[in-house]
Amino acid sequence: MRARKGEVQEHRESAEAVSILELARTKRRAADMGDVMSQVQGVSVARAGGLGTSARFSLNGFYSDQIRVFLDGAPIELAGFASGITGVPVNLVERIEIYRGVVPIRFGADTLGGAVDLVTPKSYYETGADLSYQVGSFATHRATLGARYRHEESGFFAAGNAFIDSARNDYPTDVEIPDAETGRPLRATVRRGHDAYGARGASIDVGLVDRAWVKRLTLRAFASQYDKELQHNVLMTTPYGAVTYGEGLYGATLRYAQPEALWHDLDLELLASGSRRVIDFQDTSSAVYDWDGRVVGERRRPGEIDGRARDQTIWQDSLLGRIHVTWHAGPQRAVRLNVSPTFVTSAGVERAKLAPDEADPLAARRDLVKLVGGLELDASFLEDRLQNVAFVKGYLLHAASDQVLAGNALVPVAVDALRAGAGDGVRFHLTDWLYAKVSYEAATRLPSADEIFGNGILIQPNPELRPETSHNGNLGLGLSRRKKGLGSFSGEVNAFARWAEDFVYLRGGNMYFQHRNVQSVRALGAEGQAAWMSPGSYLSVEVSATYQDLRNTSTEGEFAEMAGDRIPNLPWLFGSARARAQLSSVATPGDQLALGWTTRYTHEFFRFWESIARREDKPVIEAQFLHAADLTYVIHGATTVSSTLEVQNITDAKAHDFYGVQKPGRAVYFKGMIEL
């Protein structure tokens, strides 16, 4: 019989295609969730600027909605974070679980390239409190507050969490400004003056935990909101001075979990959630602004983006259900069934119509229904050295909308799809500390509401978007070993392959984005991660590297002429390294002083299709070496107090990401945290 390990390590060594990043030390840093996840092999987080700007999460080359994000197994949008994964405070999360291409049925999700689950600590259901505050460059302020209470005798539990973020994002950026005499573009450095961000949110949980008749019964109510100024167009070539947008998210989630709920060896988990998403977008100014924020002219018609005024609000209502049943068929056998329906309806209003009798396209009906089901068999053999998890999935999609044509005519448009998929994951322990994994899934992802209907801001609708499918395969080795006198070692290497059809690609124009289908895409790659910690935990080193080759293999359609090209605007070679040195009992017994250094490298890549234009004329995102350092001091006790000073982009390197948009240069942050 194989020796039992901790719960997290057992999961890491399971047949699931999962990598796990623990955040016990990271939570005290000033880095946000995007920075933290960028340390994981295969993960890239592209940003369109500073705090609060749009971010694109990528895993093994698949990105955005192709990767589903969860908080404790529930979709992130049901946890009250309107600004997405990068807006989740790091100190609220204990670990990050990343599923590569093969996703367990318990998430009840249609996903093309994988999933991410942010797992909160078990102490969340114990009495306690915590407070954090961060201040730094570009007028950045971030604060979180959490309080929890549990009555042991009755099992009653109540908790509240709140956060608030703000930033001016007024960092220097390089732009082209017309020469006053010749009109020829000249390079200049200006401070961003219309890029401010503000967000706030709160959630309240009440329920019962660890009772004989219920393991967990909780109700969460949440509300969050953000507001953002828009500095420029997609390619950072035209400045704006009055365009703004924002989003609010409000709702509630009910969860129930109980082992042996129906009869012996039958576990039951239920989830039901409803939410309203409110998206606002305003572009009504007739002024022409320069990069310094000055008015330098007047437009014939209002609307900075494309000469058409917009004052929009979109309401998106969602209902989600999930039933998950587990039957323990034997000591090392389990059968699981999951059914997850989703209903989304959208409506909106455009207040800035050109004429009173003009049809409002936002008022047209937009409905989306999804149903995802799965059946899974989990079995172990050879005294648990061999584990196999096999599953089948089914997908149903119905999307309907009214499209406004010339002359205010309304034409109904519908998208219907029925798909099936299957997969298998195998893990074999070669030794107690070395294991091999192989996994495969025929995956399907149904288009999201934002992709089909647009997001009311910069993403335009495409009601003809088709579901994506992909054959995903992984082959890897993992090790975890502690050797006396040498410390502990861990590592993973993985080769992956993806063959996708109707791949959804975010196509960027000068002013807007739109999701389009690419007939076929092939992805091949390899990734690795290694970590070492010295005896006594005085020194630790972690490194990761990723190579991924995503190619357009279309033979027909609008992308056929770019066959053989890499998918543009996506890194294909990148890696990271982190070293940390720690001393204990420096000033008081049990205190800790730690110095950390993080480096990330991204190789250059093309912003657009590489076969278009000559190589010397093609816009590229240049190679980048970015470094950060952090100094943390912690005093442990009944009340744990920590403070961190962190410098990001120490060398003040020119950093670019999303379609060449420049990111902040050197920045200094201080973060204080109190845990009760």
Higher pLDDT, 650 or 399: 650
Q: What percent of the chain has pLDDT over 90?
A: 68
What's the mean per-residue pLDDT of the chain?
A: 91
CATH number of the domain within which 465 lies: 2.40.170.20
Q: ∠ CA 110-111-114 to the nearest 5 degrees?
A: 145
Which pLDDT belongs to residue 511? 64
Give strand pairing partners of 476: 437, 494
Q: Determine, yes or no, domain membership for 212.
A: yes
Which tens digits make up the pLDDT trace of 464-520?
888 999 999 999 999 998 888 899 999 999 999 999 999 888 776 666 778 889 899
> 291-329: string of b/e by CB count within 10 Å (b at 16+)?
bebeeeeeeeebbbbeeebbebbbbbebebbbbbbbebe
The three-state secondary structure class of 450 is helix
Confidence label for 236 from pLDDT (cuts 50, 70 and 90): confident
Q: How far apart are CA 325 and CA 260, in angstroms?
A: 10
Beta-strand runs (E) in 216-309: 216-229, 244-258, 266-283, 287-289, 295-298
Which tens digits make up the pLDDT trace of 6-51?
889 999 999 999 999 999 889 899 988 989 999 999 999 988 889 9
Is 450 a residue whose pLDDT tops 80? no
- Give the range of the structural domain holding residue 464, as residue numbers without chain letter: 7-224+233-675
Confidence label for 661 from pLDDT (cuts 50, 70 and 90): confident
Amino acid type, 300: R
Q: Determine, yes or no, domain membership for 1.
A: no
Stated as kind and residue range, the H or E segment containing 506 is: strand 487-508
Confidence label for 602 from pLDDT (cuts 50, 70 and 90): very high
Is 79 a residue whose pLDDT tops 70? yes
Most confident of 250-264, 356-370, 380-394: 380-394
282 CB-near residues (< 8 Å, 6+ apart): 242, 243, 244, 245, 310, 311, 312
Which pLDDT belongs to residue 447? 85
Is 4 a residue whose pLDDT tops 70? no
What is the number of domains present in the chain? 1
Q: Determine, yes or no, domain membership for 2.
A: no
Which tens digits make up the pLDDT trace of 279-297?
999 999 999 999 999 999 9
238 CB-near residues (< 8 Å, 6+ apart): 232, 510
Averaged over 325-347, what is the pLDDT?
94
Confidence label for 667 from pLDDT (cuts 50, 70 and 90): very high
Backbone angles phi, psi at 617, to 5 degrees: -100, -5
β-bridge pairing 459-460 and 513-533: parallel
Q: Determine, yes or no, domain membership for 631.
A: yes
Q: Determine, yes or no, domain membership for 639.
A: yes
Q: Determine, yes or no, domain membership for 527.
A: yes
Is 404 a residue whose pLDDT tops 70? no
Q: Determine, yes or no, domain membership for 82.
A: yes
Q: Determine, yes or no, domain membership for 630.
A: yes
Is 407 a residue whose pLDDT tops 80? no
Is 1 a residue whose pLDDT tops 60? no
